[in-house]
């Protein structure tokens, strides 16, 4: 799946972009290939001193005839094509992040949090990254929503209950599923499992997934009320799962990250089917209780001074035994790969260091680098699958020789 040649990769990814003129598409392909060769370089530097190519690239991003959405649509179509050819299940890893910029264009962007005195502005971005389970390979983004929160709009959380579900930011999860099904088609969609963190524990979203027969693994955030065996007794999710018989135990390595040390965690897990009761104290578009499976994973004896792992996973996937439970746990553990993509996008491609004078221009460059960042993840995945792959498959002779000399 990894295409070593940058020109061929760019052609496969963006060669079918509908920008209103074939010459614009050709320019997009050349520009994205140049950035793929030098992900951290500015557009001018990536063009290698070719003034004509650099000016052509700048004219492309300044062109008002098309927007960033047209570029993303082309890349997502390429991702959908790769997904259709992949055997087995696909994980749709979802997460939100921010892109923030300190320069003058920040005035035309939105609030990205942090200190109120901050002069940074940017986008909130919600993306879906397709991941092939069998090959353990990221295929590419299939959906992305970018929006700006109004400056000075903080402190309105109390108004959430009064807004319709479709008007809330939490609708982004359902919108992503709708966009993904439209791009992938029903046949491929049956192999897709959406994997989301606690922010996706929205009753309406879970109801949408159930009603449309879509598969999911969502980490629970709320201790929801459970319809317990046709009685009026009030029971809650954590209470029910803590009282469920332990199904087994497992170990896995927790990697070092930030200030956290690498360690091996020993966990117990429980699983059973439950029915989530309808919320009663707020507006909801859901019509009936939701029956689904739950996997509760807990580190019973974490090291002193360390917060133990605890994952309550809501899922469409049936768990009749240990093997199915471990598959669900494995799907959720893959979710961090989208965070790696965000890191490659920001650090590897330097998307937040990009400089453009207009918001629309900056957004186009950001979308191109989002797909370039996928190449970085695929390259690492290739090395993890087969450490004996010759470096000449991904590096030119001068590149690997310089790299060799730099580590001697």
Band the pLDDT of 230: cuts 50, 70, 90.
low
Q: Is residue 306 part of a domain?
A: yes
Residue 221: pLDDT above 90? yes
Contact 138, 91 (CB under 8 A): no
Predicted confidence at residue 255, as pLDDT, reads 77
- Mean per-residue pLDDT over the chain, rounded: 89
In this model, does residue 109 exceed pLDDT 60? yes
3-class secondary structure, 405: helix
The CATH number for 224's domain is 3.90.350.10
Is 160 a residue whose pLDDT tops 90?
A: no
Instruction: Provide mean pLDDT across the span 228-241.
Output: 78
pLDDT tens for each residue of 172-206: 999 999 999 999 999 999 999 999 999 999 999 99
Residue 244: strand pairing partners: none
* Domain assignment of residue 16, yes or no: no
Q: Which segment of 101-115, 118-132, 294-308, 350-364 scores lowest on mean pLDDT? A: 101-115
Residue 202 lies in a domain: yes
Residues linked to residue 266 through DSSP beta bridges, in sequence order: 251
Q: How many domains does the chain have?
A: 1
Domain that holds residue 270: 198-325
Which carries the bigger pLDDT value, residue 79 or residue 108?
Answer: 79
From 6-15, 88-97, 109-118, 164-173, the region with the lowest mean pLDDT: 109-118
Domain membership of residue 226 (yes or no) is: yes
- Whether the CB-CB separation of 176 and 96 falls below 8 Å is answered with no
Q: Is 140 contained in some domain? A: no
Averaged pLDDT, 279-305: 83
In whole angstroms, what is the distance from residue 395 CA to residue 389 CA? Answer: 11
Q: For residue 251, give the 3-state DSSP assignment.
A: strand
Q: How far is CA 147 from CA 58, 122, 126, in A?
A: 24, 9, 9
What is the token pair recorded at 255?
């990697």
Identify whether 26 is part of a domain: no
Per-residue pLDDT tens digits for 32-69: 999 999 999 999 999 988 999 999 999 999 999 999 99
Question: pLDDT at position 281, please?
Answer: 61
Q: What is the mean pLDDT of residues 365-382?
A: 92
What are the CA-CA distances from residue 72 to residues 17, 58, 279 (Å)?
9, 18, 37
Contact criterion met (CB below 8 Å) for 46 and 64? no
In a domain, 12, yes or no: no
Q: Tell me whether residue 354 is in a domain.
A: no
Quick one: pLDDT at residue 105? 83
Closest CA to 229 of 240, 243, 242: 240
Between strands 248-254 and 225-226, the pairing is unpaired
């Amino acid at each position: 799946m990894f295409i070593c040649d940058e020109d061929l990769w760019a052609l496969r990814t963006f060669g079918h972009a509908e920008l209103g003129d074939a010459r614009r598409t050709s320019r997009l392909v050349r520009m994205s290939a140049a950035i793929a060769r030098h992900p951290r370089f500015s557009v001018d530097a990536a063009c290698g001193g070719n003034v004509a190519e650099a000016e052509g690239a700048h004219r492309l991003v300044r062109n008002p005839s098309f927007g960033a959405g047209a570029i993303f649509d082309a890349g997502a179509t390429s991702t959908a094509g790769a997904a259709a050819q992949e055997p087995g299940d696909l994980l749709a890893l979802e997460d939100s992040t921010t892109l923030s910029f300190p320069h003058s264009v920040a005035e035309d962007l939105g609030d990205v949090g942090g200190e109120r005195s901050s002069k940074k502005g940017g986008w909130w971005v919600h993306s879906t990254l397709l991941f092939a389970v069998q090959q353990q390979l990221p295929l590419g983004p299939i959906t992305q929503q970018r929006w700006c929160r109004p400056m000075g709009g903080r402190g309105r959380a109390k108004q959430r209950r009064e807004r319709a579900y479709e008007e809330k930011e939490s609708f982004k999860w359902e919108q992503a599923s709708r966009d993904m099904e439209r791009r992938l088609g029903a046949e491929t969609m049956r192999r897709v499992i959406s994997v989301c963190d606690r922010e996706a524990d929205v009753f309406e979203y879970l109801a949408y997934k159930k009603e449309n027969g879509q598969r999911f693994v969502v980490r629970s955030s709320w201790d929801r009320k459970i319809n317990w065996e046709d009685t009026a007794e009030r029971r809650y999710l954590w209470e029910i799962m803590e009282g469920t018989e332990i199904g087994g135990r497992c170990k896995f390595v927790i990697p070092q990250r930030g200030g956290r040390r690498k360690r091996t965690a020993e966990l117990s897990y429980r699983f059973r089917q439950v029915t989530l009761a309808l919320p009663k104290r707020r507006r909801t578009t859901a019509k009936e209780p939701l029956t689904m499976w739950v996997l509760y994973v807990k580190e019973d004896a974490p090291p002193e001074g360390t917060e133990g792992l605890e994952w309550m996973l809501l899922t469409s996937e049936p768990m009749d035994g240990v093997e199915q439970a471990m598959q669900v746990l494995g799907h959720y553990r893959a979710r961090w790969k989208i965070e790696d993509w965000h890191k490659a996008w920001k650090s590897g491609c330097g998307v937040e260091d990009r400089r453009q004078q207009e918001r629309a221009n900056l957004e186009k460059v950001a979308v191109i680098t989002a797909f370039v960042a996928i190449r970085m993840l695929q390259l690492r995945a290739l090395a993890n699958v087969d450490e004996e792959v010759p470096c000449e498959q991904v590096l030119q002779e001068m590149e690997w020789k310089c790299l060799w000399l730099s580590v001697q």
